[in-house]
Amino acid sequence: MRIAYVTETYPPEINGVSLTVERAVQFLRARGHQVNLIRPLQPGELARDDANELRTAGLPLPMYPDLRFGLAFSWTLARRFQRSKPDLVHIATEGPLGRAAMMAARRRQIPMTTDFRTNFHVYSAYYRLGWLRPVIARYLREFHNRGRLTFVPSRTIQNQLAAEGFRRLEVIGRGVDTTLFSPTRRSRVLRAEWGMSGDDEHALLYVGRLAREKNVELALRAFEMVRYLRPRTRMIVVGDGPMRRELEKEFPAARFVGVRRGKDLADHYASADLFVFPSESETFGNVTLEALASGLGVIAFNSAAAADLVVHGDNGLVATPGNESAFIGLVCRSVAMDADALAAMRARARESALHTTWDKVLGRFENRLAQTAFADVLEPRRRIAVV
């Protein structure tokens, strides 16, 4: 296939969406598909415009100055599509660049698919912009319903979006590198750096952006409660974001280690004991799957990836969304578990992640792209109407 792949976030930006998109592009290219990546130019990068990649103009996001959105004229992209003749345009993000690509694809009558990856309408409440939620939700619904198929990462999100009028939704899920993220990377040296002298002491771990919509403060409040029960418990916070300084000041007992990548990140996962993830705004939450693969019991709300992957009392503990007291109680309960029970939970966590490989997930994605790209040829009498 010839695929125009449009995204407003891509490495060197580091976030769950950018890394997942990069993996998908690499997979499709390795499978022999011609992927023309269209994304914003990042600071410090060289301009590029060739058959493999177009880097467009971009500006920082207002609430996330370290992230950017892309800018392009739809007629410019339409001319590009006329030259490159893609079989399919896949749009990973819903910003100005994604919208321009959608208009260009419709103008050239090219089949188009989209990803729903971020709950932007939900985020508005965390920034005192709740009044904008219906406006943002309407934009997102109209955007995605113009595509022939919208890929979503979890059943929870599929059900939520369907109830809001989104159509043609398909769950693809996410994968994990179970070789990189593995209990075998547990490091006594790293645990000693955290001030831990033995395996009878517990390290709680959070990985993700330090932003309001991630609800990180709840994990840290749970840690403060745990310290009354087990004073030797440690809290490790991996990640960065606009709330870091505020959280470091309010919770000085926690250890903030910044962004970690690759093997270093995998070492941090494996060297902890329990993964505490309080976000209720996720569409999936790749970190949940990485934690399970690393052999960590997961404490989370019963939504997104946790709803699909965590079995309460088996490989983790889940609280009813919105019930913060229950979440804190589960963190306390997990730390109070005896050594054998915790070891069994961690072993089952690892087992539950072993079947969610990227090759399987992206193989399904590839097949659905092909079916959508050539639907009019393969099934001319059952063409999918585009609204």
Task: Using pLDDT thresholds of 50, 70 and 90, give the confidence band for residue 16.
Answer: confident
pLDDT digits (tens, 9 = 90+) for 309-331: 999 999 999 999 999 999 999 99
d(CA 253, CA 158): 39
Is the pLDDT reported for residue 386 higher than 50? no
Choice among 38-47, 131-140, 284-293 with the minimum mean pLDDT: 131-140
Q: Which CATH superfamily is domain 2-175+357-382 in?
A: Glycogen Phosphorylase B; (3.40.50.2000)
Q: Which residues pair with 274 in a beta bridge?
A: 204, 297
For 61-103, the pLDDT digits (tens) are: 766 666 677 888 899 999 999 999 999 999 999 989 999 999 9
pLDDT of 381 higher than 70: no
pLDDT on residue 15 = 80
Is pLDDT above 80 for 165?
A: yes
Domain spanning 183-353 has what CATH number? 3.40.50.2000
Output Rg (C-alpha) for the chain, integer angstroms. Answer: 22
Do residues 133 and 125 make contact, with C-beta atoms less than 8 angstroms apart? yes
| Residue ranges of the chain that CATH labels 3.40.50.2000 | 2-175+357-382, 183-353
Predicted confidence at residue 66, as pLDDT, reads: 62
Number of residues that this document lists for the chain = 387
What gap in Å lies between CA 82 and CA 109, rounded to an integer?
10
pLDDT of 125 strictly over 60? no
Alpha-carbon distance 211 to 239, whole Å? Answer: 10
Side chain identity, residue 156: T
The 3-class SS string of the chain reads CEEEEECCCCCCCCCHHHHHHHHHHHHHHHCCCEEEEEEECCCCCCCCECCCEEEEEEEECCCCCCCEEEECCHHHHHHHHHHHCCCEEEECCCCHHHHHHHHHHHHCCCCEEEECCCCHHHHHHHHCCHHHHHHHHHHHHHHHHCCCEEEECCHHHHHHHHHCCCCCEEECCCCCCCCCCCHHHCCHHHHHHCCCCCCCCCEEEEECCCCHHHCHHHHHHHHHHHHHHCCCCEEEEECCCCCHHHHHHHCCCCEEEECCCHHHHHHHHHHCCEEEECCCCCCCCHHHHHHHHCCCEEEEECCHHHHHHCCECCCEEEECCCCHHHHHHHHHHHHCCCHHHHHHHHHHHHHHHCCCCHHHHHHHHHHHHHHHHCHHHHCHHHCCCCC
* Cross-strand partners of 255: 236
Q: Is residue 49 very low, low, confident or very high in pLDDT (cuts 50, 70, 90)?
A: very high
Chain centroid to Cα 378, Å, comes to 33
What pLDDT, in 10s, does the model give residues 178-201? 999 999 999 999 999 999 987 778
pTM of the predicted protein model: 0.85
Say how many Å lie between the first and final Cα of the chain, rounded: 24
Burial of 61 (0-12, 13-18, 19+ CB in 10 A): middle
**HSE, side-chain direction, 13 A CA sphere, residue 355:** 4
Contact 253, 172 (CB under 8 A): no
CA-based nearest residue to 51, from 33, 65, 66: 33
CB atoms under 10 Å from CB of 232, counted, come to: 13
Say if residue 13's pLDDT is above 80.
yes
Check residue 43 and give its pLDDT: 86
Looking at this protein, which amino acid is placed at residue 114?
T
Residues above pLDDT 90, as percent of the chain: 73
